[in-house]
Amino acid sequence: MALFEGLKSKITGKNIKVVFPEGSDARIIGAAVRLASDNLLHPILLGDKDEIAEVAKGIGFMIDKLEIINPETYEAKEAMVDALVERRNGKLSKEDGFKWIQNVNYFGTMLTYMGLADAMVSGAIHSTGDTVRPALQIIKTKPGISRTSGAFIMTKRNETYLFSDCAININPNAQELAEIAVESARTAELFGIDPIVAMMSFSTKGSASGPDVEKVVEATRIAQELAPDFKIDGELQFDAAFVPAVAELKAPGSEVAGQAKVFIFPEIQSGNIGYKIAQRLGGFEAIGPILQGLNKPISDLSRGCNEEDVYKLAIITAAQTLMQ
């Protein structure tokens, strides 16, 4: 697949360190071994080495090329807690700090925050909240970004699109939706997707009215002001955003209608439903969610993921480190 071949060439040999908190999961081990063998990145697995080795043996993998850190016996644990307490700026005691890093997602997030890892991939056995919460509390969002968002790369043969936000924000307001649109355009650029951004709605250019439409109209205006170099337009129905013939009828003169590659959904329900329809009925592969807007790349796997999903999301996450 062209997308991944391009990303592989970008990250090969750069020794990008990606920590996997769920180190004893067979899917994680299989992907990590492949990533290391292909010289794509430097995996760090968290967990007990003997337990990981036993699981690896059962699935036919050797772990000799993998770095394994056991949080229980980690020698620099106190320094990690001190850094965590300082980062929380008076909101966390040292005693509670030790409790926090007993959680592998907090431990992995701290490795990333302290620069001992460049990025983190979790979520194979943890919920999105379990992955995102430590990232928001420790890594935090970039300047000018009020919250993170979750995008999916949707790919099938020679077609590649970006759907956002399908994972994090229940019902973002206009300002938040605009930030999601701009950050999604930047994500698309990184992965070689033309950042032509459609702000989705059930209305196209005033064909319907109401608070939901007004929110998208306002978000479009804000996004255009935040990033005037990107092509961003709305409000657009999906057919108007995607089908050139429909675009000519419903949104003549739009630089986005009929050409969109990045689709910004107005709230999580439509985003989540939309990407799963494309995945299950349309035959698209959904890769993500990619967490956008954080100071360092953290990615959240689906608990229904397989080894190949882990492998591909790790490649995407490693590539994100190149634009930090």
Picking from 14-23, 144-153, 170-179, 310-319, which range would have the lowest pLDDT averaged per residue?
Answer: 144-153
Q: Where are the domains of the chain?
A: 2-140+296-323, 149-280
Per-residue pLDDT tens digits for 274-318: 999 999 999 999 888 888 989 999 998 888 889 998 999 999 999
Would the pLDDT of 2 be above 80? no
Would the pLDDT of 322 be above 90? no
Place 90 in a pLDDT band, splitting at 50, 70 and 90. confident
> Residue 290 has what pLDDT?
87
Q: Which has the higher per-residue pLDDT, 6 or 249?
A: 249
> Residue 143 has what pLDDT?
86
CATH class of 2-140+296-323: alpha beta
Per-residue pLDDT tens digits for 106-125: 999 999 999 999 999 999 99
Mean pLDDT, range 28-56, rounded to an integer: 95
Structure tokens at 123: 């979520």
Place 103 in a pLDDT band, splitting at 50, 70 and 90. very high
> Residue 302 has what pLDDT?
81
> Residue 324 has what pLDDT?
58
Token look-up 């591909």 returns 312
> Residue 146 has what pLDDT?
81
Within this chain, domains 2-140+296-323 and 149-280 share the same CATH topology: yes
Give the pTM.
0.85
Distance of CA 322 to the CA centre of its chain: 14
Show the DSSP H helices in the chain as ranges. 2-11, 26-37, 49-58, 77-88, 94-100, 104-113, 128-134, 174-190, 211-226, 238-242, 244-250, 268-280, 307-320
CATH class of 149-280: alpha beta
> Residue 153 has what pLDDT?
93
Contact 162, 154 (CB under 8 A): yes
